[in-house]
Amino acid sequence: MKVWIEPSQIKGTVKIPASKSMVHRAIICASLAQGTSIVSNVTYSKDIDATITCMEALGACIEKKEDRCIIQGCDVTQRNSNICCDCQESGSTMRFLIPLAALSPFKAVLQGHGRLLSRPMDVYQTIFAHQGLSFKQKETIELQGPLQPGHFLIPGDISSQFITGLLLALPLLKKESTLEITEPYQSRSYVELTLQMLQTFGIHIDQTSPTSYVIPGNQTYHATNVNVEGDYSQMAFFGVLGAIQNRIMCKNMDPASRQGDKVILDFLKQGGATVTMGSEICIESGLLNGQTIDLADCPDLGPILCVLAAYSTGTTKLIHARRLRMKESDRIEAMEKELKKWKVDITSTEDTITIHGKPSYRCESPVQIEGHNDHRIVMAMTVFGLCADSPSQITGAHAITKSYPHFFEDIISIQGKVEIV
């Protein structure tokens, strides 16, 4: 799919979709609970659909309604047959699912597409090898449990998804386990979301230090109803639009959210935008200036923060950005390549991005942008194009279906000139 982007004056109110991170966790916890749970305010996407089909493969019964799921949970420890799960391109789905699939002694095969199976899985490979369990990664991941309780030492600078996967599974083992995270402990906020959802479903985890957890065994997930809050990582695209251009109102957001990507509000304010918190979040444009931004706990914000930096006068430096290279695309390389087509002054190292920004951009002919099969690249470059002074076209724009299928509709609703070609 291609989209044609015209310079636009954006204004209005947009309802931000549900937090994808929280929907993943809510559906998994509900699927592990004994009884029926309802997960409300669900925004469906390819990633969420992948989690649903995988939890169904593990034994849950999930009924999809327009904006909610009705879920009858199952006991994954009693799975008595081999399974095959298609995780699509969802890193969260695959990394959350692996320990759960290993709770049974029966084989599990996990499929993935795009760059998913090239993303690091060494953490699990090491754990399985230490316990004498089978874990083979080639065109698929083939594994066989049962996972045993014990002490787990996990690097904190690769992905918090490994930590979440273990926190979801270890309470279902018969005995206590301990989990220790080595420094630097990055994306800690995502683990906080996991602990919050586990508590909602009746699971108790003791955090004995900033990097240590004790997980009592023989626990039971309890069915409950959950209403999922809006997604700050998706709100960021509209927040940056408002900061560069006009006043934008974002609804369906929780001002007290524990999402790590809520830090986007701080970055917008530090850059010169006005942010007002109330029943809705209002972002108004200002004179934007460069700043230093630490991505250690919010890597998903990387692409759209590159856009904010490009339109901010002076120098912006994004640090601790290395994990952007291990996403659906190498997001540092992708953003550098596409922004340079607009003559943005951008350079990078393995772990940093430096941008010398300015208020406006114009090219003599329409700029041809590649989507890199990455939803966040497509959305970020859409925002850039809307704020520019000349048109652009994005190829591979269908990548948005991974997380935000209605993104272009929402852009059009606030007077964005986007045409699907």
> pLDDT per residue over 158-206, tens digit each?
889 999 999 999 999 999 999 999 999 988 999 999 999 999 999 999 9
Pairing relation of β-strands 12-15 and 248-251?
Answer: parallel
Q: Where does a domain end: 227, 259, 279?
A: 227
Pairing relation of β-strands 367-370 and 392-395?
Answer: parallel
Q: Where does a domain end: 227, 248, 278?
A: 227
Most distant pair of Cα atoms in the chain: their distance: 67
Task: Catalytic residue, from 47, 261, 300, 410: name it.
Answer: 300
Amino acid identity, position 341: K
Are residues 131 and 255 part of one domain? no
Q: Do residues 178 and 151 touch, judged by C-beta distance below 8 A?
A: yes
Flag whether pLDDT at 136 surpasses 90. yes
Q: Do residues 307 and 384 touch, judged by C-beta distance below 8 A?
A: yes
Flag whether pLDDT at 118 surpasses 90. no
Separation CA 262–CA 256 (nearest Å): 9
Structural domain of 220: 20-227
Are residues 378 and 407 part of one domain? yes
Q: Do residues 312 and 272 touch, judged by C-beta distance below 8 A?
A: yes
Q: What is the CATH number of the domain that holds 56?
A: 3.65.10.10
Q: What is the model's pLDDT at position 192? A: 94
Percent over 90 (pLDDT), the chain:
94
Separation CA 344–CA 346 (nearest Å): 6
Distance between start and end Cα atoms, the chain: 7
Percent over 70 (pLDDT), the chain:
100
Are residues 148 and 85 part of one domain? yes
Are residues 321 and 286 part of one domain? yes
Sign of the dihedral defined by the CA atoms of residues 230, 234, 236, 241, in that order: negative
Q: Which helix (H) or strand (E) holds 250?
A: strand 248-251
The angle subtended at Cα 5 by Cα 314 and Cα 283, nearest 5°, is 50
Are residues 252 and 377 part of one domain? yes
Are residues 131 and 108 part of one domain? yes
Amino acid identity, position 353: I
Are residues 24 and 11 part of one domain? no
Amino acid identity, position 49: D
Flag whether pLDDT at 222 surpasses 90. yes
- The count of domains in the chain is 2
Each residue's pLDDT tens digit, 373-409: 999 999 999 999 999 999 999 999 999 999 999 999 9
Mean pLDDT of the chain: 95
Question: Would you place residue 120 in the very low, low, confident or very high pLDDT band (cuts 50, 70, 90)?
Answer: confident
Separation CA 191–CA 259 (nearest Å): 10
Are residues 200 and 77 part of one domain? yes
Q: Please, which contacts does 26-29 make with residues 24 or more away whose CB atoms are closer than 8 Å?
A: 26/197, 26/226, 26/228, 27/51, 27/52, 27/55, 27/62, 27/69, 27/71, 28/55, 28/96, 28/100, 28/168, 29/168, 29/197, 29/198, 29/200, 29/201, 29/203, 29/221
Q: Where does a domain end: 195, 227, 259?
A: 227
CA-derived radius of gyration, the chain: 21
Tokens 């979709």 found at: 17
Are residues 377 and 283 part of one domain? yes
Separation CA 412–CA 409 (nearest Å): 5
How many other CB atoms are found less than 10 A from the CB of residue 152? 23
Tokens 């999922």 found at: 228
Q: Do residues 267 and 244 touch, judged by C-beta distance below 8 A?
A: no
Question: Would you place residue 119 in the very low, low, confident or very high pLDDT band (cuts 50, 70, 90)?
Answer: confident
Are residues 238 and 178 part of one domain? no
Q: Which two tokens stand for residue 66?
A: 């327009």
Q: Which residues of 370-379 are buried (b: 16+ CB within 10 A; e: fewer)?
A: bbbbbbbbbb
Are residues 206 and 244 part of one domain? no
Question: Would you place residue 279 in the very low, low, confident or very high pLDDT band (cuts 50, 70, 90)?
Answer: confident
Q: Which two tokens stand for residue 173?
A: 């083992």
Q: What is the spatial order of strands in the sheet that 177-182 belongs to?
A: 151-155, 177-182, 212-215, 206-209
Separation CA 329–CA 378 (nearest Å): 11
Each residue's pLDDT tens digit, 296-332: 999 999 999 999 999 999 999 999 999 999 888 999 9
Question: Would you place residue 82 in the very low, low, confident or very high pLDDT band (cuts 50, 70, 90)?
Answer: very high
Q: Do residues 178 and 152 touch, judged by C-beta distance below 8 A?
A: yes
Are residues 135 and 234 part of one domain? no
- Active site annotation includes 49: no
Q: What is the model's pLDDT at position 326? A: 86
pTM exceeds 0.85, yes or no: yes
Q: Do residues 58 and 73 touch, judged by C-beta distance below 8 A?
A: no
- Secondary structure (3-state) at 265: helix
